[in-house]
Structure 1
Amino acid sequence: MSDVIELNEIDALTAYRSDWQRLLRVTPGGTFFRSLEWLQVYWKHFAEDQTLRVLVVRDGEQVTGIVPLCVRRIKSKFGLCRILTFPFDDWGSFYGPVSADLTKTLCTALDYIQHSRRDWDLLDLRCVDSTGFECGATEQALKSMNVSFETLMWCQTAYVDLKQNWEQYLGSRSTRARKTYLCSEKRVQQEGNVKYLRYRPAGAAAGESDPRWDLYDQCEEIARQSWQGRSTTGTTLSHASVAPFIRDVHERAVQAGAVDLNMLFVAGRPAAFNYNYVYNGLVYSLRMGFDPGVSVKGAGCVLMGRMIQDSMLRGDRILDIGPGSLKAKQNWYTSVENSYRYVHYSATSVTAKLMQLSHQFADWYRDRFSNEAVDVRKVTESSKLSATSR
């Protein structure tokens, strides 16, 4: 018989660290973003206007799943709206529970949510890898527990399949893509000695926990010198609003063995970086950039190619180049993967009912008067917390 323990204080999660680590290792598609280390740092920096609701699922005395949730308050045209969602804010491509059996864990969590305090208007599960590693677990659980829901497209991300050799991969690229890469290699090498460095410490448990702040600072400086230094989106390594957060995560990620820092040096000077997280052969490209004042055109391209080739040799499985900007990534990716959003409206919330009616009218109006076929939409919000709008 499964039961649920709800935790509302971030410090209370420490008692479940070993269970969290054990379950993450067997979670389909598990990444560093689902780790306790990442959540603790995220909560330290972004807990304002959020209430933590982490559900620990047990079968007897054995912890079998953990569902990190939070209640977030956002503004809507109908007033303040409270959403029960993942504490994630789109920092990566996908998120979800930590468990070997995602469907069973979600069923138990949904049953608990239905019978516990109703401090939310919408149940809003975002960044769900429905058609990938998750294999439809969220949808199966919602249907199994008779929870009404809408399925919406949320975002798209670019994957590189690393389970092949470099020659196969390069041969599968378009003629233009191959030419661009090979010309970039030749052009950059004409500037002087080219050195590729990859720093991937195994973590504190393996005696490798040096954060190599010298390398990280070089990444930050490159970002500052590039267009990213002038960016106002608040998403870059050097941006004042998120730099302290990413630095704190870096230190914890090193200890967890999840940092994958790539640098390209041209004539002895740092020219380009690609800063990633890695877990179980899944590499996520968090940020990348090149210094136009140091390198000739193509340094970023050369770094990406060498990094992909090295990942194949290491036995990595997938490189997730990240959501958005698909056109700029088209030379590299082998597939485009969708993330989805599952929305359930609380039957006891006036705000939720008004939002649902508004969305139903919008759908009717679109179907009645639009000649364009639209299969998915996003629920309108006047405020969306995300890594791309922060």
Structure 2
Amino acid sequence: MKVRVVSDEGEFRAMRQAWDALLGRSGTGSVFLTWEWLYTWWKSFGDDKQLYIIVAGDDETRAILPLYRRKVPGFVYPGSVKLEFLGTGEERSDEVCSYMLDMIAEAGCEEQAYADIFAFLREVRPCDWDLMSLKFVSSRSGFIDAARRYFGEDAYTVHVEESFRNGITLLDDGWQGFYNGLGKKTRKMVRSGRRRLESMNGFSYRFLQRRDELSGMLDAFVKLSLKRWGGGGAFASPKFSSFQRAVCEEFADRGMLKLSLMEVGGRPVAGNLDYCYRDTVYGYQTAFDAGFSKNLSVGLLGMLYCIENAAEEGFRKYDWYRVARESYKERFISCYEEIVNLVVARKSFYIALLGLLGRLKKL
């Protein structure tokens, strides 16, 4: 396959149709690899970066590796350049939490794509980069083993480190099957909590239905989030907030946004900002009014309404994102996906970095 680099934002914008068509033909089905997510991210966070999207194919696009370049601070290795996934690398306060990132390759073409794109990076454009820091990849991805094969030689070092566990609820048996599989105490908590909520005057749990509802519902959700975190949290970041509003508009237009609010007497008390793609609903953010009721977990109950809705609409998975060990969420999880970070570095860069760390320890 012919391999080239897209570094122009206008060309990235024009790739929309081909990008999402390829993602639909691939075995990589993450919402965080859609053109809508990554292009919106680039518009929000790309100021100090250079696009470096690697595209492979002959008559049509068969593979895309969505990267960008930026310089590594000079105190590590003067003039060195790092490649990272689009969707990662923001300031911590702006972090958008993209995950399940990967090369997008047409099903059946993965091995050829790995071979051609990694050969391009190793042999055709070796001077374009010194370090690849590729975060939040599924440990099951063939991309990991391919990187080990193609860069496991004297000139490079390859390192894979664990990042977090991604929790998934399977919905093949529908809502009732999921509910019946919960522990006895958990079922009782869900049943009694719902009964109390639904008996309250003016209770409703509603999902975004029309495009003209988006602005008002999103404003209500953001207010709940800011209140939950005492004026802080993700939406306190202007960059994060602007990004989310833009990506919600994109997803709403494609039917990929599942924004919901729980209200009692016209007062929003909880909400969920979720996305959907293929067979999965992604539980992205939950917000709730902690002062509404000390004896009701309205945030958790809201998430369970979202899971019920996902099952009713035929989705097969609900993705909880990061699930810590011994978290309350574990009782609802069917299986886990290990998420890892991949680092490929030139040996010269790696040795220089180790030397710097050694000197810092002596200070």
Same fold (TM over 0.5): yes
Equivalent residues in 2 for 1:1-390, closer than 5 Å: 2-58=1-57, 60-75=58-73, 78=76, 82-89=81-88, 91-100=97-106, 101-114=109-122, 115-131=124-140, 134=141, 136-140=142-146, 142-143=148-149, 148-199=157-208, 210=212, 212-227=214-229, 229-231=230-232, 236-294=234-292, 297-326=296-325, 327-347=327-347, 350-355=348-353
- Supply the distance in 1 between the matched residues of 2:314 and 2:74 (Cα, whole angstroms): 46
CA offset at residue 243 of structure 1? 0.8
Could you tell me whether the CA contact under 8 Å between 1:163 and 1:317 is conserved in 2? Answer: yes
Q: Residue 299 of structure 1 aligns to which amino acid in structure 2?
A: V
Checking the alignment, whether the CA contact within 8 Å between 2:4 and 2:54 is kept in structure 1 is yes
Q: RMSD of aligned C-alpha atoms?
A: 2.7
- Name structure 2 gaps, 5 residues minimum: 89-95, 359-363
Amino acid at match of 2:343: V
Paired with 1:68 and 1:312, the residues of 2 have a C-alpha distance of 32
1:308 alignment partner, SS class: helix
Aligned to 2:247, the other structure's residue is in SS state: helix
From the superposition, tell whether residues 200 and 120 of structure 1 become closer, same or farther in structure 2 (CA, over 3 Å): farther
Residues of 1 paired with 2:138 and 2:131: CA distance?
Answer: 20
Alignment TM-score, normalising by the size of structure 1: 0.79
Segment of structure 1 superposing worse, 293-302 or 91-100: 293-302
Deviation at 1:112, TM superposition (A): 0.9
- Match of residue 92 from structure 2: none
CA distance in 2, matches of 1:341, 1:312: 31
Contact 1:151/1:343 (CA < 8 Å) preserved in 2?
Answer: yes
Q: Give the fraction of aligned pairs with identical amino acids, expressed as a percent.
A: 21
In the TM superposition, residue 31 of structure 1 has moved relative to its aligned partner by: 2.5
Check the 8 A contact 2:81/2:130 in 1, yes or no: yes
Give the aligned residue type for 1:22.
A
CA distance in structure 2 between the partners assigned to 1:105 and 1:314 by the alignment: 35
In the superposition, relative to structure 1, how do residues 240 and 144 fare at CA in structure 2: closer, same or farther (>3 Å)?
closer
1:215, distance to aligned residue in structure 2 (A): 1.0
* Structure 1 unaligned blocks of 5 or more: 202-208, 362-390
* Contact 1:253 1:259 survives alignment (8 Å): yes
> What is the count of residue pairs matched by the alignment?
343
Given that 1:71 and 1:84 are in contact with CA atoms closer than 8 Å, whether structure 2 keeps it comes out as yes
| d(CA) in 2 for partners of 1:57, 1:356 | 34
**Counterpart-to-counterpart distance in 1, 2:309 and 2:74:** 47
Give the letter aligned to residue 124 of structure 1: S
Structure 2 Cα separation of the partners of residues 336 and 182 of structure 1? 26
State the SS of the aligned residue for 1:278: strand
Partners of 2:3 and 2:62 in 1: CA distance: 10
CA distance in 1 between counterparts of 2:133 and 2:290 reads 41
The alignment partner of 2:332 has SS state of: coil
Instruction: Give per-residue Cα distances to partners, 1:319-378, cap 9 Å, x unaligned.
Output: 11112545142232222211122222214xx4322336789x9xxxxxxxxxxxxxxxxx
Assess if the C-alpha contact under 8 Å between 1:106 and 1:138 holds in 2: no
Which has more helix, going by share of residues?
2
Which residue does the alignment assign to 1:369? none
Displacement of 1:210 in angstroms is 4.4
Distance in 2 (CA, whole Å) between partners of 1:38 and 1:303 is 25
Shift of 1:286: 1.5
